[in-house]
């Protein structure tokens, strides 16, 4: 809880200078962002090495990091916006989180990252078709992808299935009634 408190405190401070989350959601940060992120941990109880793509204001990446401390795990956050990357670094330092921030584009990170993560996550980054491009290099190394999605998820999966064979399951969100988390076990281009 102390680590999560520190994350929320830093978010509120930095949000006054840079747009880390939609301003309308700041008052609901504990449910809309912290809780929404925390629920991913139950879907990967044994994961220790994690990669979060397009981390932005740190969701789910920083919240996952707060839990990975107790598992002896760590997380790589990939965020190409330098101001957001600076926030992620400073927040991780203050909260004492096992985080490495990569201020680069996902494509560049994926090409140079030599480790095999247990989980790759991405929230609010891209439509499913594009998202699969981003996570495929990690799936090939044995990772599972956890991708929180809104109520249009079925439509996105149908669209993505035109170009991809997708082995995935949908897990209902415990936070948003119509939202789902897509757990991707495998994906390959047709
Ligand atoms: C809409 S925000 C979502 C942030 C966070 N995951 C969340 O759910 O609150 C998407 C973030 O992904 C970053 N991003 C988009 N494309 C990227 C890419 N190709 N490489 C690295 N970061 C990227 C953007 O800078 C932005 O901060």
Tokens of 134: 């981003």
pTM: predicted TM-score of the whole model, two decimal places? 0.98
| C-alpha dihedral sign at 72, 78, 81, 82 | positive
pLDDT of residue 163: 96
What the chain holds in terms of domains, given with CATH numbers, is 2-189 (3.40.50.150)
Distance CA 86, CA 92 (A): 10
Query: What value does the mean pLDDT take over residues 36-56?
Result: 98
Q: Is the dihedral of CA 188, 115, 90, 4 positive or negative?
A: positive
What average pLDDT does this structure show over 171-190?
96
pLDDT of residue 142: 97
The answer to whether the CB of 61 is under 6 A from ligand 1 is no
- State the distance from the centre of ligand 1 to the C-alpha of 48, rounded, in angstroms: 23
Residue 155 contacts by C-beta under 8 Å, 6 or more apart in sequence? none
> Looking at residues 15-35, what average pLDDT do you find?
96
Kindly give the number of the ligand 1 atom that is closest to the alpha carbon of 122: 6
The rounded mean pLDDT for the chain is 97
């Amino acid at each position: 809880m102390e680590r999560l408190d520190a994350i929320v405190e830093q978010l509120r401070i930095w949000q006054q200078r840079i747009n880390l989350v939609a301003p309308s959601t700041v008052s609901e940060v504990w449910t809309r962002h912290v809780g929404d992120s925390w629920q991913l941990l139950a879907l990967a109880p044994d994961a220790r090495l994690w990669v979060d793509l397009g981390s932005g204001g740190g969701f789910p990446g920083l919240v996952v990091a707060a839990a990975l401390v107790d598992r002896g795990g760590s997380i790589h956050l990939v965020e190409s916006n330098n101001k957001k990357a600076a926030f992620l670094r400073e927040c991780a330092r203050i909260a004492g989180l096992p985080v490495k921030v990569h201020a680069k584009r996902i494509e560049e990170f994926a090409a140079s990252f030599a480790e095999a993560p247990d989980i790759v996550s991405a929230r609010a980054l891209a439509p499913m078709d594009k998202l699969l491009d981003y996570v495929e290099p990690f799936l090939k190394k044995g990772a599972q992808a956890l991708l929180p999605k809104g109520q249009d998820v079925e439509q996105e999966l149908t669209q993505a299935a035109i170009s991809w064979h997708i082995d995935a399951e949908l897990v209902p969100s415990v936070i948003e009634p119509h939202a789902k988390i897509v757990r991707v076990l495998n994906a390959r281009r047709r």
